[in-house]
Chain A
């Protein structure tokens, strides 16, 4: 009862980042196993505490039999042996049930691996997520960052690896944790059945900004997903206003060009996130800040004050240049 109360009181019980609010078959199975283990261990805990309480109460010190006798009567010994052996048998049985349940869950989740119509490559970086949608035609390839759009009701294979240290991909509403390892590709299949924005987080300590390494799984109906893909595969139109034109010049003549790609321009470096459609994203800096002009300006000016240790260096520049640059970046939709 207490445990249940604690569980319900936990913030984020039904939120968009909670394994207790599953929105896909994999997460559902994981949640069932979690519930099974929780209720078994919770019941065992309660029964044990009650037994301890009863025995403490029964054997409380009474003045006239102090000190207690060292020898226990043999029939009490026998009872104790039976009780301990019985409890041990029950423990083994319960542990066995939990083990089999977790085997069944793992098997059921892994069974789907063979068939998935959609494939997404996810690369963990310190401290952001690179997301690629491989396509048969190279020019239709979609590259984005920190946002994974998936169609609802369809299996999606995630092809995960890391470019530096070990990260762990964890969108608790959709699936369990999967490590992304440098030099090794980890494949797993996910599915979301409810449209929504499900938040994920790196679940393996990967450096000073590990806590600021989150992503959004954006599950949407098939037609919306396809129109998003279409838009992302295209090249943004060239800047049309004088301000965004100047912003593009600032981008191409500053340090930005050393790390970022904007398709359709000469910027083609693959060190930082692809910014071709950065204006269409919800957040910047891997879910750290909302994507709006004032936050983007602060981020460009000195990312080290927001996310110390991040790979992006401070970029001191005059206010005018900064405003134009931000206007240009926000226009990339």
Chain B
């Protein structure tokens, strides 16, 4: 039975990575609703500070991230943020500077409600799951996703490194100045 068990082992090993390729074409009625609700504030009742989710199921599916990449050009995000996220009239998405936060929830909120200084609100125009896919792709632009999930190639002539090959930028690199408390001498 050696060859048989060997075959079974090989199949198990080969299919172990297939989950990332799972395609969820119809995400169900809830996720298909137009995106509208977001956390209005990061201040919450209770002792615990608001903890943004560090990852979402969309960030574990290569298909969802690839869809995010397609939507990024289809919905003309590239028009302002540049193909490959290099930035143009909108800020770059491929660096370590996150003006309105780097977590999936915060990016979701940025897309849905818009931000001052030019980011339009896409709430009520884009289905919820597509905003999540976009947020996942935006994070891949600065190397936040594992290389097995991030897109590896472009349909157009590549103008920047593949998302998969990017080095992870850390929001902590922003070198935030500590708040200066006025102190008495």
Contacts and interface: CB of A to CB of B under 8 A. Distances in A.
B34 A258 contact: no
A314 B74 contact: no
Contacts of B130: 313
B25 A255 contact: no
Contact of B29 (A164, A259, A311, A314): A314
B126 A258 contact: yes
Contacts of B23: 309
B75 interface: yes
A315 interface: yes
A259 B73 CA distance: 11
Interface in A244-303: 253-255, 257-259, 271, 302
A68 interface: no
Contact of A302 (B26, B124, B125): B26
A325 to B, nearest CB: 14
Interface class of chain A by DSSP: loop
Contacts of B129: 313
A68 to B, nearest CB: 41
Given A255-B126, A308-B25, A313 B74 contact: no
A313 B131 CA distance: 12
A258 B127 CA distance: 11
Given A255-B125, A271-B74, A313-B130, A182 B26 contact: no
Nearest to B33: A316
A164 B124 CA distance: 28
A48 interface: no
Contacts of A313: 32, 127, 129-130
Given A302-B26, A309-B23, A314-B32, A258 B155 contact: no
Contacts, number: 44
Interface in B21-35: 23, 25-27, 29, 32-34
A310 B25 CA distance: 8
Interface residues of A, number: 20
Contacts of A311: 70, 74
A113 interface: no
A164 B32 contact: no
A304 interface: yes
A255 B36 CA distance: 12
Interface string B127-158: 10110000000000000000000000001000
Contact of B26 (A164, A259, A308): A308
Contacts of B34: 254-255
A304 B29 contact: no
A302 B26 CA distance: 8
A253 B23 CA distance: 28
Contacts of B27: 314
B125 A257 contact: yes
A15 interface: no
A257 B124 CA distance: 11
A106 interface: no
Contacts of A254: 34, 124-125
Given A182-B155, A308-B25, A315 B32 contact: yes
Nearest to A163: B155
A313 B126 CA distance: 9
Nearest to B63: A309
Interface string A62-88: 000000000000000000000000000
A162 to B, nearest CB: 10
A91 interface: no
A305 interface: yes
A268 to B, nearest CB: 11
B25 A304 contact: yes
Q: Which 10 pairs from chain A and chain B are nearest by CB?
A: A304-B26, A314-B32, A308-B25, A271-B74, A304-B25, A313-B127, A316-B29, A309-B25, A316-B32, A258-B125
Given A254-B125, A305-B26, A316-B33, 9 more contacts: A254-B34, A255-B34, A255-B125, A255-B126, A258-B74, A271-B74, A271-B75, A308-B26, A310-B25
Interface of A: 164, 182, 253-255, 257-259, 271, 302, 304-305, 308-311, 313-316
5 contacts: A253-B124, A257-B125, A259-B74, A310-B25, A314-B32
